[in-house]
Amino acid sequence: MNTELIRADFPILSRTVYGKPLIYLDNAATTQKPLCVLDAMRNEYLNVNANVHRGVHWLSQQATELHEGARETVRRFINARSTTEIVFTRGTTEGLNLIASCFSEACMQKGDEVVISTVEHHSNIVPWQLQAARKGIVLRVIPMDDDGTLDLEAFRRMLSQKTKIVSISHVSNVLGTVNPVEDIIRIAHQYDIPVVVDGAQSAPHFKVDMQALDCDFFVFSGHKIYGPTGIGVLYGKEAWLDRLPPYQGGGEMIEHVSFEKSTFERPPLKFEAGTPDYIATTGLAKALDYVSSVGLDAIQKHEEDLTRYTISQLLQIDGMRVFGIPADADLTTLRHDAVISFQLRDIHPMDMGTLLDRLGIAIRTGHHCAQPLMDRLGVLGTSRASFALYNTHEEVDALVAGVKRVATMF
Ligand code: PLP
């Protein structure tokens, strides 16, 4: 993988901040966009812009072709069986809200349970809590050990007649740990319980294959995979999407409307009320093509190298704690996604982030929208560096030097 060539596709990476070269290590929050994505979106606005579906005129048909072509690109990218299973959303959060709302309406009664885990992002906690308040459903939480490993035995013991769905993140956005979703899906399916996978932090970093994974739902965000903001994907097995009620009502999702009664389109349109963000779907498809052209295996290897290197360098600093790593981990083979949370002595993450920022290094600090996980770790927040395909070993060296410099200030 030629990182130098790749970086040329992302003009923002060559800018400076405070007179220093930008080192962008906040990719778990959002990624930068390659020119091809921006060009595709600009081109559509300039040359093809028209509302999609149902238009008889040429522009509308062209725009519809791009929009539905994007759906096919997504299908191919995650190896879904059919484009019927690909619903466009505004992002992971909307996808999870849609599932929580529609699933609990159709399939859950008061007292029924949803199983989530300790490492979930707020987006996979709060939508279920809203349904808990509305319908009286109950949240059960898979515990984790101090290294961030989920307790599968506890998970197994949690399952009962009352368990109606499991919703779990593929990769923790704080710890970078890859959760055993294959095992969770296999165990849940033994009891005929469907599983939602939050792929916000997995789809950008390694191959996800819906048919191999066999999850029932999978969600991810465009902006975390080099695509535009405001667009995301909800994959759902066709049988489930057929069974769930619509999420919102309005144009696009209807088949026929009268004042007495309305009937709805089949999935995926049933879940896409209103004019879709068809410019963003074009941008997303371009981003996925870009990722595919670099190759997810190459991206995964590159990011794994960077992650292992960073962890080994950080751990050499006195008083450093890196979260989500077993004490006896072999760093040369550690399976860890491109997210590293750390804490240096008692230096507040806000101080760490602010001082690194002055060196041109963008990391994220705080609770990372995972406050229950912070409670479990016994911290208020962490400092988090996260990588994308364009990051380099030199940038890691700058980060480590920056952290060492901060250490001397306290
Ligand atoms: N789930 C995980 C694991 C995440 O990391 C994030 C964002 O950081 C989300 C959900 C929410 O994604 P979005 O804000 O794009 O909806």
- What's residue 210's pLDDT? 98
CA of 364 to the centre of ligand 1 (A): 14
Angle at the Cα of 390 from the Cα atoms of 387 and 391, rounded to 5 degrees: 50
- What's residue 55's pLDDT? 87
CA of 41 to the centre of ligand 1 (A): 23
pLDDT over threshold 90, residue 190: yes
Pocket test for ligand 1, best of 27, 92, 172, 198 (most atoms within 8 A of CB): 92
Average pLDDT score over residue span 333-347: 94
* Angle in degrees, 0-180, between the axes of helices 92-107 and 126-135, rounded to the nearest 10: 30
- What's residue 331's pLDDT? 87
Check: CB of residue 273 under 8 Å from CB of residue 134. Answer: no
Check: CB of residue 76 under 8 Å from CB of residue 296. Answer: no
The model's pLDDT over 42-91, given as tens digits with 9 standing for 90+, comes to 999 999 999 999 889 999 999 999 999 999 999 999 999 999 999 999 99
Q: What is the DSSP letter of 134?
A: H
The encoded tokens of residue 164 equal: 């109606």
pLDDT over threshold 90, residue 223: yes
- What's residue 269's pLDDT? 96
* Separate counts of helices (H) and strands (E) for the chain: 14, 17
pLDDT over threshold 90, residue 153: yes
pLDDT over threshold 90, residue 118: yes
Average pLDDT score over residue span 339-362: 97
Q: Where does the chain hold its CATH 3.40.640.10 domain(s)?
A: 38-292
Percentage of the chain beyond pLDDT 90 is 96
pLDDT over threshold 90, residue 328: no
The model's pLDDT over 366-380, given as tens digits with 9 standing for 90+, comes to 999 999 999 999 999
Nearest CA to ligand 1 atom 6: 200
The verdict on whether 369 is a catalytic residue reads yes
CA of 145 to the centre of ligand 1 (A): 23
- What's residue 236's pLDDT? 98
Q: Where does the chain hold its CATH 3.90.1150.10 domain(s)?
A: 3-32+296-407
Pocket lined around ligand 1, Cβ cut-off 6 Å: 28, 91-93, 121, 123-124, 169, 173, 198, 200-201, 221
Q: What is the DSSP letter of 144?
A: B
Q: H or E segment at 107?
A: helix 92-107
* Residue-by-residue DSSP string for 163-222: EEEEEEESB-TTT--B--HHHHHHHHHHTT--EEEE-TTTTTTS---HHHH--SEEEEEG
* Residue-by-residue DSSP string for 59-73: HHHHHHHHHHHHHHH
Residues forming a β-bridge with 203: none
CA of 21 to the centre of ligand 1 (A): 28
**Backbone φ and ψ of 24, nearest 5°:** -95, 105
Pocket test for ligand 1, best of 88, 98, 123 (most atoms within 8 A of CB): 123
Nearest CA to ligand 1 atom 8: 29
Locate the ligand 1 atom nearest the alpha carbon of residue 29 and give its number: 8
406 pLDDT tier (thresholds 50, 70, 90): very high
Mean pLDDT of the chain: 97
Check: CB of residue 273 under 8 Å from CB of residue 94. Answer: no
Pocket test for ligand 1, best of 173, 179, 205 (most atoms within 8 A of CB): 173
CA of 192 to the centre of ligand 1 (A): 27
pLDDT over threshold 90, residue 215: yes
Average pLDDT score over residue span 314-327: 94
d(CA 400, CA 391): 14
Average pLDDT score over residue span 110-133: 98
pLDDT over threshold 90, residue 275: yes
Average pLDDT score over residue span 222-236: 98
Average pLDDT score over residue span 284-303: 98
- What's residue 104's pLDDT? 98
pLDDT over threshold 90, residue 149: yes
Q: What is the CATH number of domain 38-292?
A: 3.40.640.10
Locate the ligand 1 atom nearest the alpha carbon of residue 171 and give its number: 3
Calculate the alpha carbon distances from 331 to 15, 119, 174, 334, 337 in Å: 33, 22, 18, 5, 13
Average pLDDT score over residue span 145-173: 97
Locate the ligand 1 atom nearest the alpha carbon of residue 172 and give its number: 3
CA of 46 to the centre of ligand 1 (A): 31
Edge-to-edge strands, sheet with 364-366: 320-322, 339-344, 382-386, 364-366
Locate the ligand 1 atom nearest the alpha carbon of residue 90 and give its number: 16
| The listed CATH number (3.10.290.10, 3.90.1150.10, 3.90.600.10, 3.30.465.10) that belongs to domain 3-32+296-407 | 3.90.1150.10
The model's pLDDT over 15-41, given as tens digits with 9 standing for 90+, comes to 999 999 999 999 999 999 999 999 999
* Angle in degrees, 0-180, between the axes of helices 35-43 and 278-294, rounded to the nearest 10: 150
Nearest CA to ligand 1 atom 5: 173
The encoded tokens of residue 269 equal: 């349109």
Pocket test for ligand 1, best of 26, 221, 223 (most atoms within 8 A of CB): 221
- What's residue 333's pLDDT? 86
312 pLDDT tier (thresholds 50, 70, 90): very high
Check: CB of residue 331 under 8 Å from CB of residue 313. Answer: no
- What's residue 332's pLDDT? 86
CA of 93 to the centre of ligand 1 (A): 6
CA of 229 to the centre of ligand 1 (A): 12
CA atoms within 13 A on the CB side of 296: 15
